[in-house]
Amino acid sequence: MSSDSIGGVKWLEKTKRWSASITMGGNDLILGSFESRCEAVAVHQMANSPRTHDYASLFSDCLRNDHECSNNNAKISVDADLYAVTIQDVVTSMKMSKAWNAFGKKRFSLHEWTMQTIRHNTYLKAVKDGLQKIEDMKSQEHQNQSKCEKSKDLVTSNVRNNEEQSLFEYTNLKEQSKSVDSKKERTKRKQRDPKKIVLNR
């Protein structure tokens, strides 16, 4: 694992992802791992920033100064996820929870908001992956059913063709047999006619 130029953002060699972390009580608390450096830097800056708004500027600054992040789709994906859940929504949800009322009102930090957002994004990804697996299973089942129907049609067609071929061969053999019998009959008649002529004389 190698450190990045910005503190708290590191490259994970084994997973090939970027991690974001902050220091709390002398210990490093990992906020999560991300596909792009832009995402990790933005989350790290938000966790350490005293501001509770204007997250778009954090992303724009990160993306403008980060020359290693060439995939703009990462920015679009992160922006969509962050704007989907606002800090006001999280604070309201926390205040309405049983844990908040049980332990009394407490300070809600931006770090807690970041962690809630990461959990929310992980949940969304799990749901999306689950739905994709279901779609893949349906698609595979449909393909298998189509293959089965095609095989059934092929077998039926082969059986029908074999029956028609057998009937055709039987008809030909029958005609040939009739023709042979007819020739034999004519030959017999010719053989009998000379004898009749001799007897008449």
Domain ranges, ordered by start, for the chain: 2-145
pLDDT at 89 over 50: yes
Give residue 126's pLDDT band: very low, low, confident or very high (50, 70, 90): confident
159 Cβ neighbours under 8 A, 6+ residues apart: none
pLDDT at 13 over 80: yes
Pick the range with the lowest mean pLDDT from 11-20, 84-93, 146-155, 161-170.
Answer: 84-93
Quote the pTM value. Answer: 0.29
**CA geometry: angle at 166 spanning 168 and 178, to 5°?**
50
pLDDT at 167 over 60: yes
Residue 192 pLDDT: 63
Calpha distance 36→26 (Å, rounded) = 27
pLDDT at 84 over 80: no
Highest mean pLDDT among 27-41, 70-84, 90-104, 132-146: 132-146
Higher pLDDT pick, 128 / 77: 128
Which of 37, 41, 36, 19 lies closest to 28 in space, CA to CA? 19
- Asked if residue 11 lies in contact with residue 2, where contact means CB atoms within 8 angstroms, the answer is yes
**Which whole number is the average pLDDT over 99-110?**
54
106-121: burial string, b at 16+ Cβ within 10 Å, e else? eebebebbbbbbbebb
